[in-house]
Amino acid sequence: MIIRGILDRSLNGVTCIRGFAPLKDLVKISEAKGYQRLIDNEHKKEITEYIEKREYLFFPEVILSYKLSDNDNAKINSLEGLEIIKGKKGDVSFSLSNKSYTSKSDNRFKEKINLVTIDINNVSLDATKPFSRIDGNHRLTASENIKDNSIQNFMAPFCIVILNNDVKDVAFESAIFHNINSKAKHLTSEENLNVILNDEYFSDQDLKDKFGWEFYAVRELFKELPSDNLSVAFPNLGAEFCTTPKTFCKELLELLIEVKAIIKTNKSINNITEALQKVNVSIGSKGLESKLKSIGIIEAAVYFELTKKYSLDLFFNWILHNHIYEIEGLKAKSLIRIYEKLRETKNKEVFISMQFSADTEPHYKAIQKAIQEINTEYTLDIKLKEIRIDKFEDGSSYDINEKIFQKIEESGLLIVDISKHNGNVYHELGYIMGLNKAKGLPQENFIIIKSNDSKFNSDKVGFNITTIKQLRFDEPLQLVGMIKESLKKYYNL
């Protein structure tokens, strides 16, 4: 294998060979060393897709190093000293030739360039490679995955740094890696997006085809959002949202697409705008506007508002009660997973709404027994658990009515005993029915029971629920069986 380049000293210091070679050849002759970062598979995949797509394809030179062995005939103390060198890491030889050229503007002025031909033999897949990768390891590793031979033969720029095999130069190699990766100030994501989303450069179709639908969606979002006055329109979403709004929206869109919360339509973009407005209001109502330390909480809240899986009110109550707002660097995806797991547990809670008195105690015992028997008979990841508000204690003082409504909303099922004509019980039943209607849900998450015992004859059923199915029972043992059958159907056991 032969590659060629121009030999010179970079900044009058390090001896370098600069040139172009096929991607596949650069992959074959080089390998990463210990100071390299571990390969980030997601980044590697992005680079592979970028190369294969061939849109605006360009990257700067790959930087390699070659260390002279102690037995080499010449050290590189001068450019002319590099004539024929055989390295210890494979059969590698360098041959040097000088080419002179004349300045077109002044025929008396002559320049000379040093052309180097590098002949590399016997480099197998298993052998130690003669060249080390200082910069460009991800690019070369990504290109290994490409099956298209035409791409493998693309000419890529390279720079080979020639070093002596001593402590000083080995340390220098690591320093080059450090300086390349730490000294440069990269554009922020927001600065990059401002360039890409500029209407003068790319049409809407260009954004969709060449960068991805989410870039187009961000542009569309900012036709609706007041980009010059975000802090007024969304005063509760925080400084990070207002200073890097396009970055936030792009990350949000990528999350929502990944978890299948939206499809790639303009209607989805409009829904996101509306969701942001509702999240903004909800944060303000909880007094969290100056407390949130992670923008991931806002992203998760938008997800829950769009999917309607859980109410924003409950989500932010959880954030507030558990001081989640104080945690920095929360990732929305992890937060969503944690909260959904918590809600899954809550959905196995059965809220008991009844007048707790001596004559209704057997009804409660029957419900309790039915739940215990279900837990014994079925292997459930999360066991069913009955909740009665007079026995509930979370270690804090709270408004009893607010806590009742919160527990009703959190629970997966409500069992309502209307054997006694109790106003509070009817109120709780009305609350869950109103909640279902507001969310567009069927009236299926509650079970109404009523004893046929004569001692409850004077407790008439309210006329507005007489048409709703009720479990009528003669004695508590019968109620146990009826509740069990209802639980089996409700939880698909």
In sequence order, what DSSP letters do the residues of 296-346 get, joined into one string? HHHHHHHHHHHH-SS-HHHHHHHHHHTTGGG-SS--HHHHHHHHHHHHHHH
Structure token digits, residue 322: 């558990």
Inform me whether the pLDDT recorded for 478 exceeds 90: yes
Inform me whether the pLDDT recorded for 73 exceeds 50: no
Instruction: Grade residue 295 by pLDDT with cuts at 50, 70 and 90.
Output: very high
By DSSP bridging, strand 30-32 and strand 131-135 are parallel
By DSSP bridging, strand 110-121 and strand 2-10 are antiparallel
- For 465, which DSSP code? G
Inform me whether the pLDDT recorded for 399 exceeds 50: yes
Closest CA to 210 of 58, 59, 53: 53
Instruction: Grade residue 74 by pLDDT with cuts at 50, 70 and 90.
Output: very low
Helices of type H across 225-295: 230-233, 239-243, 245-258, 266-285
pLDDT for residue 392: 55
Inform me whether the pLDDT recorded for 24 exceeds 50: yes
CA 113 to chain centroid, in Å, comes to 51
pLDDT for residue 397: 46
Structure token digits, residue 30: 């080089």
Given a contact cutoff of 8 angstroms between Cβ atoms, the answer to whether 45 and 37 are in contact is no
3-state DSSP assignment of residue 453: coil
- Torsion angle (degrees, nearest 10) of CA 263, 264, 265, 271: 60
Instruction: Grade residue 71 by pLDDT with cuts at 50, 70 and 90.
Output: low
pLDDT for residue 75: 47
pLDDT for residue 380: 76
Strand partners, 116: 5, 96
Burial class (CB in 10 A: 0-12, 13-18, 19+), 262: buried
Among residues of the chain, what percentage have pLDDT more than 70?
86
Strand partners, 451: 473
pLDDT for residue 173: 77
Mean pLDDT throughout 187-200? 78
- Residues 6 or more apart in contact with residue 108 via CB below 8 angstroms: none
Q: Which residue has the higher pLDDT, 99 or 316?
A: 316
Closest CA to 8 of 73, 80, 87, 72: 80
Instruction: Grade residue 178 by pLDDT with cuts at 50, 70 and 90.
Output: confident
Inform me whether the pLDDT recorded for 394 exceeds 70: no
pTM for the predicted model, two decimal places? 0.59
Mean pLDDT throughout 244-251? 92
Instruction: Grade residue 48 by pLDDT with cuts at 50, 70 and 90.
Output: confident
Mean pLDDT throughout 378-400? 70
pLDDT for residue 89: 45
Instruction: Grade residue 186 by pLDDT with cuts at 50, 70 and 90.
Output: low
Among residues of the chain, what percentage have pLDDT more than 90?
36
pLDDT for residue 77: 44
pLDDT for residue 87: 42
Kindly report which listed range (85-94, 397-406, 422-431, 448-457) carries the lowest average pLDDT score.
Answer: 85-94
pLDDT, tens digit, for every residue of 125-173? 566 788 889 888 888 888 887 877 788 888 999 999 888 777 777 777 7
pLDDT for residue 121: 77
Instruction: Name the residue ranges covered by the structural domains of the chain.
Output: 2-182, 191-345, 348-490
Helix axes 245-258, 266-285, angle to 10 degrees: 110
pLDDT for residue 409: 85
Q: Which residue has the higher pLDDT, 87 or 117?
A: 117
Inform me whether the pLDDT recorded for 114 exceeds 50: yes
Given a contact cutoff of 8 angstroms between Cβ atoms, the answer to whether 158 and 18 are in contact is yes
Instruction: Grade residue 35 by pLDDT with cuts at 50, 70 and 90.
Output: low
Helix axes 266-285, 296-307, angle to 10 degrees: 120
Given a contact cutoff of 8 angstroms between Cβ atoms, the answer to whether 272 and 252 are in contact is yes
pLDDT for residue 391: 65
Given a contact cutoff of 8 angstroms between Cβ atoms, the answer to whether 127 and 30 are in contact is no
CA distances 102 to 97, 98, 105, 109, 172, Å, are 17, 13, 9, 6, 36
| Candidate CATH numbers 3.10.50.40, 3.20.20.70, 3.10.450.630, 3.40.50.360; the one for domain 348-490 | 3.40.50.360
Kindly report the backbone phi and psi dihedral angles of residue 383, in degrees, each rounded to the nearest multiple of 5, phi listed first.
-75, 150
Mean pLDDT throughout 343-351? 83
Instruction: Grade residue 483 by pLDDT with cuts at 50, 70 and 90.
Output: very high
- Residues 6 or more apart in contact with residue 195 via CB below 8 angstroms: 201
Given a contact cutoff of 8 angstroms between Cβ atoms, the answer to whether 83 and 171 are in contact is no
Q: Which residue has the higher pLDDT, 59 or 361?
A: 361
- Torsion angle (degrees, nearest 10) of CA 140, 143, 145, 150: -150
What letter represents residue 482's amino acid?
A: M
Mean pLDDT computed over every residue of the chain: 83
DSSP assignment string, 96-165: EEEEEEE-SS-TT-EEEEEEEEEEEE---SSSPPSEEEEE-HHHHHHHTT---HHHHT-EEEEEEEEEES
* C-alpha to C-alpha distance for 105 and 457, rounded to whole angstroms: 115
